[in-house]
Chains A and B, each alone.
Chain A
């Protein structure tokens, strides 16, 4: 600690240099940096002429005879330099040859990078003389842009870290010239009452600041260490090059000292000017964000979004402070610029096909039924083990867990008023951490009534997945039962907390809750939210999450109109009439019951484990709710079939009343369908096709499935488009890449491709994933708004869709691309196979096909082993039977695994990516291990 108190020996001024002149003998290469971009520019700053090192693609464009279509001014932060932007510079030049040509200007800030070094007689400290402050740095940019004589007809700013603040501040000041702003992780405001992030606090402590930033290169090292994957040594060296000596690091200390954490700080006024100016900013804005940043945390992103609500945001899950090193930001950046300034005006005029029926408001049926003759009939019946949070002891004891339409409507109204009084406003996001059941239904419809956006991160994502999902959606409120709230509290999920049950004062403090649903219901009983405006059709209603089986779960935004279109479709497709009653073994449909006008019965089961749903639980639900329909997942159906022997006569008769069984979430094997039919003897068994981004796209009944099977096509037949849905196909090329041009199903019979859909009930968009959304909806075929599903398959001559797997799971063999379903369907039909996965090993375009089989339990017997000893390689005659089942495709190896790994939510989507990795290891001759 002695060194900290040592007297600061002055730093001398030093001229600007070119990176190429830096230690040429040391062989430092600056990978990715073209010396052609480097130049020194003298500019008249506020305190005299100074020399800047600038990366500038202007001369390179001029040398190629290309006139720039616009200019990007890219400002680095602390302690990086313009090297940070090398990927943007090189991508701009690549694109310039056949697209818009953006000139990129990336200066090294003064006292930073290879720009001029200032003399510092004293140590860096807040407002210490000789160190550059925010105000002056804005002036530096003015001077530099004057000196460079830039054509400002189209000008965009780009920034990162404190370069984000400076670039945004400059944009606000020069709003007459600047046409758009882009920033990576930054912060334009910090409430002085709140502590600065711990990661910065250490470096900012006055006693430590000079040592952490100038005397040593600790701050620099820590920052470079924030990259998701360790930076290559050469890149790390390049970042460090201008800062290897103490005399080069004055600016680093100056930057840290210039963070206006206290209200007395000299740069505070300027920062406030910037943050206030941003609140008025109305130009196009793009935020590219790495959420794993210990300094610029999500709360600063929330502040930016509040100031610039129209900003487009892409939040790169898993990336951090060094986003530009962690991910390709050039592709989203230039695509966005093209959308803003290019000639693709087409995108906005696209429409969805007409919905299947009249779009209903989500409360319309509920309101109508609550005042109709049916008002005292059950609207929701909850068979889950826990009695409702606010049900009376009497109700709980008698097991009466039904709410009539009238009761449901009254509770929804009362809670809407109560939530509004608590502070929940239209547009607020509300995370729902309550198990499916009556209480969740009441809370959901109260939120919808207020125009609050329900964030439904279901427990099926697992704790880590839920944490990621909730953080990404950044709810303003969390309404939860105790387990959910405890999780939210201990994992630091954002949002003010409201408990479902009334809590003791001690628990309220412990869980930090501001209200409880139970007390709001009793306090506001009988009140109606009549003064609250109804939400608009295009207002967001809900954020659902994908299952995350192909990457981090994505938030999917639905508007009221798009959910209303889904409701209309369900009513139409399944002929649901008032008075209908459904057993909801599949959550998304359960929540729509009141909107559909059907009684919804939640059977007793664990949501996280759909495979725990038993036949008796379904039958009891059917009896309690006089149900005529059952919605379930394939895993739930499998267990219902497996436990059917436990049914009593009465229960059997109840299932005999069911007229419709729906299985959603993943394809179902015909054998299972037949078994389901035996449990529900008079029911039509439908296996609709859909996704989180569009819950119902195609539909087929069991007998039609069996019919289709006789045509022996690859994959699983999921039927024809339901009303209001248009399908198109993007054929795959030999490397498994789908075409950009779409074709109509009739023009591509039997062709393998990515399935693309258009419908009024599709997602409104992905949440905070601007680029993902942009990619998914890039097609313009027939002037419609499309969604790329990532599913692959083909259409047959009867316009039926056959799903053959996921785009990520395509096997690109030397004979062309094939979908895993092409192999799995015939293999699954073998008597000794329970299910199978076809995965590729080897390089794209010449992959070998590997079939991994999960045996039927009876075929693992000692007498007929499917494999030899402990080796996973199939026994030779069994391998021959598998190969014979798919004669047209070469199968390199058949492996046997006791149980194929699956996703948590549906317990039915096979983890093919994990299996492929395992197969690759096993078939390389490595130790077998587990997938």
Chain B
């Protein structure tokens, strides 16, 4: 007896203010799922029930999980800087509250969105699988707290909840205000560096493929619960080529600035400390530091993954190739004048 979560099911999506959360919620609604979204601001999404609230608020969380069949938990504090405590509050305690509420309201299936960085320190990842999360080995507050959260979610699998963990890697495409727009902005102003030879092979995930994979993952969740799956396009490319390609899609010249990886890491560590200091002095900053140790590692070592288990479990293959994605991004920017 195979059980699928089909359209008509009630699904809560947290973190629908981000590109991925918004896109997934929208797609699920379009396919006929009864979607509720939970986030602090307004989502401005059509065809979904909206609950405004934070994961810090148990009442809001309880209200949101009421009557749901499944939860897709995407809300997280995603940043490369900031006080560690903030990350713990959102990523660890928030996840715990959501899980508690979900189980209390009889939710059966829980799709936890994580990150490949939860399982890996700075070393190269070459055709890597999805190892267990390792909070001690993870680098930086984001990865550490996401690792803790993943372990917590995974442990709930033993107490009757179906838990599936998806770890998308470097989502990009039209609408992406994180990676995509920053690369283009910096490339336009000549501040986008390529580290070392720019040859490090890196996996990415085009947004439409990510949405497909999440819908597939939700649908098959009861069948494949208990698995951890890294999610990528399965098309690793040299990082320099990807950056150049994304910059070109935004009409920016190919980055000419080249930094030695060691230098960038050292500089990143210094900048991180400066940022922390300035935040302590004058409160949270709205911008992100230009370079961090984590980012330097991401940009100078290989990060690509074995996708065979993922594609088989989700019964999914990426529809949009990297090259096709770049073409769509260029078309989007030319048409709208912006990445967003």
Contacts and interface: CB of A to CB of B under 8 A. Distances in A.
A873 B238 contact: yes
B338 interface: no
A299 B42 CA distance: 87
B235 interface: yes
B200 interface: yes
B234 interface: yes
Contacts of B96: none
B262 to A, nearest CB: 10
Contacts of A845: 306, 308
Contacts of B240: 868, 871, 873
Nearest to A884: B323
A724 interface: no
A706 interface: no
A893 B199 contact: yes
A922 interface: yes
Contact of A871 (B198, B306, B311): B198
B122 to A, nearest CB: 10
A650 interface: no
A647 interface: no
Contacts of B245: 876
Given A848-B236, A876-B245, A893-B238, A924 B200 contact: yes
B182 interface: no
Contacts of B300: 925
Interface string A514-540: 000000000000000000000000000
Interface in B174-219: 195-201
B106 to A, nearest CB: 39
Contacts of B238: 873, 892-893, 923
Nearest to B322: A890
A923 B308 CA distance: 21
Nearest to B244: A876
Interface in B101-144: 124, 126-127
A924 B308 contact: no
A146 B223 CA distance: 62
Interface string A905-931: 000000000000000101111011000
Contacts of B200: 923-925
B290 to A, nearest CB: 20
A814 B308 contact: yes
A870 B194 CA distance: 13
A876 B198 CA distance: 12
A423 interface: no
Contacts of A846: 127, 306-308
Contacts of B199: 871-873, 893, 895, 922-923, 925, 928
A843 B201 contact: no
Nearest to A734: B308
B127 A847 contact: yes
Interface in B280-329: 300-302, 304, 306-308, 311, 323
B248 interface: yes
B245 to A, nearest CB: 7
B126 A924 contact: yes
B308 A871 contact: no
A924 B241 contact: no
Contacts of B273: none
A842 interface: yes
B261 interface: yes
A848 B127 contact: yes
A591 interface: no
Interface in B228-242: 234-241
Contact of A924 (B124, B235, B244, B306): B124
A158 interface: no
Contact of A842 (B126, B237, B239, B261): B126
A831 interface: no
Contacts of A923: 199-201, 238, 302
A274 interface: no
Contacts of B124: 924-925
B63 interface: no
B254 interface: yes
A920 B199 CA distance: 10
B307 A873 contact: no
B197 A873 contact: yes
B84 interface: no
A876 B126 contact: no
B52 interface: no
Given A846-B306, A923-B238, A841 B126 contact: yes
A65 interface: no
Q: Tell which of A845, A848, A870 has the most Cβ of chain B within 10 Å.
A: A848
Contacts of A872: 197, 199
B258 interface: yes
A924 B237 contact: no
Contacts of B261: 925
A871 B197 CA distance: 5
Given A893-B238, A924-B301, A842 B127 contact: yes
B182 to A, nearest CB: 20
Given A848-B304, A924-B302, A873 B198 contact: yes
Contact of A876 (B196, B234, B248, B301): B248
Contacts of B126: 841-843, 920, 924
Contact of B196 (A843, A848, A879, A925): A925
Contacts of A848: 127, 201, 236, 304
A191 interface: no
B325 to A, nearest CB: 14
A814 B307 contact: yes
B45 to A, nearest CB: 35
A876 B307 contact: no
A869 interface: yes
A869 B307 contact: no
Contacts of A924: 124, 126, 200-201, 301-302
Nearest to B305: A846
Contacts of A928: 197, 199
B327 to A, nearest CB: 11
A923 B199 CA distance: 5
A890 B321 CA distance: 10
Q: Tell which of B126, B197, B200, B304 has the most Cβ of chain A within 10 Å.
A: B197
Nearest to B125: A924
Interface in A840-871: 841-843, 845-848, 868-871
B254 A876 contact: yes
Contacts of B127: 841-843, 846-848
A736 to B, nearest CB: 14
A869 B255 CA distance: 12
Contacts of A890: 234-235
B306 A843 contact: yes
B241 A925 contact: no
Interface string A225-262: 00000000000000000000000000000000000000
Contacts of A927: 196
Contacts of B195: 925
A546 B277 CA distance: 66
A883 B238 CA distance: 14
A4 B237 CA distance: 67
Interface string A881-892: 001000000101
Interface in B247-273: 248, 254, 258, 261
A288 to B, nearest CB: 36
Contacts of A841: 126-127, 201
A869 B306 CA distance: 31
21 contacts: A814-B308, A841-B126, A842-B126, A843-B126, A846-B307, A848-B304, A869-B258, A871-B197, A871-B199, A873-B198, A876-B248, A892-B236, A892-B238, A893-B201, A893-B237, A923-B200, A924-B124, A924-B301, A925-B200, A925-B239, A925-B302
What 3 pairs across the A-B complex have the smallest Cβ distances? A842-B127, A925-B200, A871-B197
Given A814-B311, A892-B237, A925-B300, 12 more contacts: A814-B306, A846-B306, A848-B201, A848-B304, A871-B196, A873-B197, A873-B240, A876-B244, A924-B124, A924-B302, A925-B199, A925-B239
